[in-house]
């Protein structure tokens, strides 16, 4: 059985946390997965994954702002299409 050094294990855990966050962002655009993704961002799961990934509070807020802006733009596009 191979052993993984502490540094390598930390890198794997950090990569996993980043992947979870990125997948949850992508899931926001999938109607089937959107509800679960929103639950993730509202829960302690996002805070925990952010901490593990090394994403500080200010960066988390910036991420939320970016996602909110994208959501508003998508809503505006839908309204324009209906007109």
Average pLDDT estimate for 6-15:
84
Tokens 């509800």 — which residue? Answer: 35
Of 23 and 77, more confident: 23
Q: What is the pLDDT of residue 1?
A: 46
pLDDT in tens, 12-66: 999 999 999 999 999 988 889 989 998 999 899 999 999 999 999 999 999 888 8
Q: What is the pLDDT of residue 66?
A: 86
Q: Where are the domains of the chain?
A: 6-82
Q: What is the pLDDT of residue 8?
A: 75
65-72 LR contacts (CB < 8 Å, sep 24+): 67/25, 67/28, 71/28
On whether the CB atoms of residues 38 and 64 are closer than 8 A, the answer is no
Tokens 């996002």 — which residue? Answer: 46
Q: What is the pLDDT of residue 14?
A: 96
């Amino acid at each position: 059985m191979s052993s993984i050094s502490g540094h390598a294990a930390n890198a794997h855990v950090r990569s996993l946390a980043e992947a979870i966050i990125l997948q949850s962002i992508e899931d926001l655009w999938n109607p089937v997965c959107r509800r679960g993704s929103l639950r993730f961002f509202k829960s302690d799961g996002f805070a925990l994954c952010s901490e593990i990934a090394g994403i500080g509070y200010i960066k988390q807020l910036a991420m939320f702002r970016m996602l909110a802006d994208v959501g508003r733009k998508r809503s505006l596009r839908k309204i324009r299409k209906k007109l």
